[in-house]
A and B are shown apart, each in its own frame.
Chain A
């Protein structure tokens, strides 16, 4: 009976996304259906079948506004994306600029799917194989350790709570939110900076291209390449960026008069065990449904109370199965299915950062009363026809109170977070 049951709210967000850096630009891009997917010459040069991807723009100029030359010498792309998002999130939460004393009340869980592969591919492997180990210098370890970004951010913000990295493939960002939620809900810490960051290294994307799971045939039409829920979906578009949220106990947020975007009312993380049709790359449907249902139970709501779904919806053959799993989990008729969209239609699939970026899109929609259109699914997949009225094609106003977000990943792992419009 020592359960503290602190309520957990979101008091800050920071975003570096292919279609917009910073909350304002990102929200405008969501509202206006701005795609961040472009053709990239370096992918063409390496003979990728999928030569389109989502990469945040103007970072080379932007990074100098946030980071010193000294810091930048030891930072790869994922670390830079993460640091910019973290600093923005910190300021958005209205917290004081870091000083000489650590903030013992704030920790961080900054997830990543594939860490530092640009550093490994461009520096460690070529120099080591050439017998020039000495020339690697001092900055390799801090850039390729799995916790590279969380460690860097812990220093930038002088964090004094637990500072760590989680990794569970494409579930990572949403899992970080679930983990941070538990730390606050049980009263162990006041604030947790949570989410994910992922670089855009071609070395990360090559393996997916070779698996033939990336979108082919859209190299000349990049903005049409990411097609979740579409009959013509042929694979996902790789993305990158960082999305970080400041989770905070309601009591702490109220004590300092912080602005509250939304409340996290339930979370769950599980694994389908790669049984019952599940495998490394395909989910056990029972695992997905249990994850969503456990999050709903934790939130103390019925499936029919969910107004909006921000799906995982990557634009592979799995999309119709995902929607069927949502319908089973929510126990509603297809005709009563909540509104649903896919943020990946605009930014691609940012792997370990996807959950963080999409949770920010979710919270912006809930907090600011809109649902963004899901691009490129005018030709809805035939199996999704029963849900046709629920699929949001064009941005519309919304008075939704409850949004469910889920992410799924290789390894048959699942995470679900339930967000609610804040009512004191």
Chain B
């Protein structure tokens, strides 16, 4: 698993984060909703940003399973 992807995911979710400190110290287990205090409606926009950044397509079913930064990295790595 690439550390680059992890850092890119952090960068993509940054503007959506209400808890910037949690993002600074984020690990693969850091959750988008609870830890980063991202508005749940915005997960849709974050997935669109992943698709654009990595030139991939993420199905609704796959998107529904993304809860942590690690989940996102796993989905992205499987497609790139």
Contacts of A73 in B (CB 8 A): 15-16, 42, 45
Inter-subunit contact A70/B18 (CB<8 Å): yes
For window 82-134 of chain A, which residues contact chain B by CB distance below 8 Å? 134
A139 at interface, CB cutoff 8 A: yes
Inter-subunit contact A137/B15 (CB<8 Å): no
Neighbour of B17 across the interface among A70, A135, A137, CB < 8 A: A70
A138 at interface, CB cutoff 8 A: yes
With an 8 Å Cβ cutoff, the count of chain B residues facing the other chain is: 11
Inter-subunit contact A137/B48 (CB<8 Å): yes
Shortest beta-carbon distance, B46 to chain A, in Å?
9
Q: What are some 17 contacts across the A-B interface (CB < 8 A)? A: A70-B15, A70-B16, A70-B17, A70-B18, A70-B39, A70-B42, A73-B15, A73-B16, A73-B42, A73-B45, A134-B48, A137-B45, A138-B42, A138-B43, A138-B44, A138-B45, A139-B42
A69 at interface, CB cutoff 8 A: yes
Rounded to whole angstroms, the CA-CA distance of A138 and B45 in the bound complex is: 6
- What are the interface flags for B57-68 relative to A under an 8 Å C-beta threshold, 1 for contact and 0 otherwise? 000000000000
B1 at interface, CB cutoff 8 A: no
Shortest beta-carbon distance, B63 to chain A, in Å?
10
For window 61-79 of chain A, which residues contact chain B by CB distance below 8 Å? 69-70, 73
Rounded to whole angstroms, the CA-CA distance of A70 and B17 in the bound complex is: 7
Inter-subunit contact B16/A135 (CB<8 Å): no
Q: A70-B18, A70-B39 are in contact. List 11 more A-B contacts (CB 8 A).
A: A70-B17, A70-B42, A73-B16, A73-B45, A134-B48, A137-B48, A138-B41, A138-B42, A138-B45, A139-B42, A139-B45
* B16, B18, B42: residue with the most chain A Cβ atoms closer than 10 Å: B42
Shortest beta-carbon distance, A133 to chain B, in Å?
12
Contacts of B48 in A (CB 8 A): 134-135, 137
Shortest beta-carbon distance, A142 to chain B, in Å?
9
* B16, B18, B44: residue with the most chain A Cβ atoms closer than 10 Å: B44
* A135, A138, A139: residue with the most chain B Cβ atoms closer than 10 Å: A138
- What are the interface flags for A127-171 relative to B under an 8 Å C-beta threshold, 1 for contact and 0 otherwise? 000000011011100000000000000000000000000000000
Rounded to whole angstroms, the CA-CA distance of A138 and B46 in the bound complex is: 10
Inter-subunit contact B15/A69 (CB<8 Å): yes
Complex: chain A residue closest to B45, CB-CB: A137
Contacts of A139 in B (CB 8 A): 41-42, 45
Contacts of B18 in A (CB 8 A): 70
- What are the interface flags for B4-21 relative to A under an 8 Å C-beta threshold, 1 for contact and 0 otherwise? 000000000001111000
Shortest beta-carbon distance, A139 to chain B, in Å?
7
Rounded to whole angstroms, the CA-CA distance of A69 and B39 in the bound complex is: 13
Rounded to whole angstroms, the CA-CA distance of A69 and B42 in the bound complex is: 13
**A-B interface, 4 closest residue pairs, ranked by CB to CB distance from nearest:** A138-B44, A138-B41, A137-B45, A69-B15
Shortest beta-carbon distance, A202 to chain B, in Å?
26
Rounded to whole angstroms, the CA-CA distance of A139 and B18 in the bound complex is: 17
Contacts of B42 in A (CB 8 A): 70, 73, 138-139
Rounded to whole angstroms, the CA-CA distance of A70 and B39 in the bound complex is: 9
Shortest beta-carbon distance, A70 to chain B, in Å?
6
- What are the interface flags for B34-54 relative to A under an 8 Å C-beta threshold, 1 for contact and 0 otherwise? 000001011111001000000
Contacts of A70 in B (CB 8 A): 15-18, 39, 42
Complex: chain A residue closest to B18, CB-CB: A70
Rounded to whole angstroms, the CA-CA distance of A137 and B18 in the bound complex is: 19
Contacts of B16 in A (CB 8 A): 70, 73
Shortest beta-carbon distance, A68 to chain B, in Å?
8
Rounded to whole angstroms, the CA-CA distance of A135 and B45 in the bound complex is: 8
Contacts of A137 in B (CB 8 A): 44-45, 48
Rounded to whole angstroms, the CA-CA distance of A309 and B15 in the bound complex is: 47
Rounded to whole angstroms, the CA-CA distance of A138 and B39 in the bound complex is: 10
Contacts of B39 in A (CB 8 A): 70
Contacts of B15 in A (CB 8 A): 69-70, 73
Rounded to whole angstroms, the CA-CA distance of A70 and B48 in the bound complex is: 16
Shortest beta-carbon distance, B2 to chain A, in Å?
26
Shortest beta-carbon distance, B79 to chain A, in Å?
17
Shortest beta-carbon distance, A143 to chain B, in Å?
12
Shortest beta-carbon distance, B40 to chain A, in Å?
9
Rounded to whole angstroms, the CA-CA distance of A139 and B43 in the bound complex is: 11
Rounded to whole angstroms, the CA-CA distance of A88 and B76 in the bound complex is: 43
